[in-house]
Amino acid sequence: MSDYHFVYKDVEGTSTQWDDIQTKLGNRPAKPAPHKPPAWSPAEDERDQVKNKEWMSTKTVEELEDLADDPDLDDDRFMEEYRKKRMQELTEKTRKARFGSVVSITGSDFIREVSQAPPDVWVVVHLYKDGNPNSELLGQCLDDLATKYTGTKFVKIVSTDCIKDYPDFNLPTLLVYNNTNVKATLVGLQHYGGRRCTPEDVAFKLVSIGPVLLGPNDDDREAVTERVRRDFLEKIVSKLEQKEADSDDD
C-alpha cells in the first residue's frame, strides 16, 4: 500500500497565530509581507491613440513615411495631406540646416557636392586662390551671404584644383549651378561693381541669374529675389542722395 504525503502550503506571506507567537518568543523570524504586484493598467497602444495634427507633429520624417501604410489614414484624406505637408516641412528644415557657411571642397568633391546636389538646391561655387586680392574681396562678400541665405549652398575651391592651369587673371570666378546644370559663369569683379563691391552687389547679380538665394525661413525664392532687388535699389538711391548732398556742401 502506497503512502501519500500531502504538503499544504498557504498563500505566500500568510502568518498564523502560532507563527505570531513563535515570532514574539524569538523562535523564528517574521514572515515577509505578501507580495503585491502593481495594479494592472493597459499599456498605451499607439493604435488606440487619436491620430490628429498634434499627434502627427511629434513624428520624424522616417515615422511619417511609415504612416503611408497606416490603414487608419486611408479613409482620412485630410490627415494624409497633412502627413505629406509635414514631411515636406521637416525635409526642408533638415536641408536648410546643412548650409550657412562657405564650405571648402577639393576637385574630388566637386561632382558630389556640386553636380549632384538636389534639384531644388542652388550652388554657388567660388574659384579662388589664396593671396589673390580680388579673390579675398569676393570671398568676404560670399561669407556674408552664406550666413544670411542659408538655403543656398556656397562652396569654394582652388581654381587650379577645379580646372587645370586656370589663369589667375580670371580670378575670382563664380559658377552658379542648379539641377546639374551651369546657370552662369561670372569671371572677375566687374559683375559686382569692381573693387568696391559689397555683399548687396553680389546678391543683386546672383538673383539676376535666377532664384538663387534662399533664407532660413523663406519658402518662396521669388519673394527673396524681390527683396534683394529692392534693397539694392534703395542702396543706389541712398548713394545718389549722399552724392548730391556732398555736391551741395561743396
Assess if residue 20 is contained within a domain. Answer: no
CATH number, position 188: 3.40.30.10
pTM: 0.60
Same-domain check for residues 223 and 119? yes
Q: How many domains does the chain have?
A: 2
Assess if residue 12 is contained within a domain. Answer: no
Q: For position 38, what pLDDT does the model report? A: 72
Assess if residue 193 is contained within a domain. Answer: yes
* Domain end residue (candidates: 96, 113, 147): 96
Cell numbers for 149 = 541665405
Same-domain check for residues 207 and 233? yes
Same-domain check for residues 76 and 111? no
Assess if residue 222 is contained within a domain. Answer: yes
Cell numbers for 9 = 502550503
* Domain end residue (candidates: 63, 81, 96): 96
Same-domain check for residues 61 and 156? no
Same-domain check for residues 85 and 207? no
Burial class (CB in 10 A: 0-12, 13-18, 19+), 152: buried
Cell numbers for 210 = 535666377
Q: For position 139, what pLDDT does the model report? A: 98
Assess if residue 4 is contained within a domain. Answer: no
Assess if residue 46 is contained within a domain. Answer: no
Same-domain check for residues 120 and 64? no
Residue listed under C-alpha cell 529692392: 230
Same-domain check for residues 91 and 183? no
Same-domain check for residues 65 and 161? no
pLDDT digits (tens, 9 = 90+) for 86-121: 667 666 665 555 688 999 999 999 999 999 999 989
Q: What is the CA radius of gyration of the chain?
A: 36
Same-domain check for residues 74 and 130? no
Assess if residue 155 is contained within a domain. Answer: yes
Assess if residue 200 is contained within a domain. Answer: yes
Same-domain check for residues 144 and 205? yes
Q: For position 81, what pLDDT does the model report? A: 62
Residues of the chain with pLDDT under 50: 45-48
Cell numbers for 119 = 534639384
* Domain end residue (candidates: 96, 129, 164): 96
Distances in Å between the Cα of 33 and the Cα atoms of 12, 37, 41, 63 are 8, 12, 23, 46
pLDDT digits (tens, 9 = 90+) for 134-147: 999 999 999 999 99
Asked, as a colleague might, if the bond just before 172 is cis with ω within 30 of 0, I would say yes
Same-domain check for residues 110 and 156? yes
Same-domain check for residues 74 and 121? no
Domain of residue 172: give its range: 102-239
Distances in Å between the Cα of 36 and the Cα atoms of 14, 16, 20, 39 are 12, 19, 21, 9
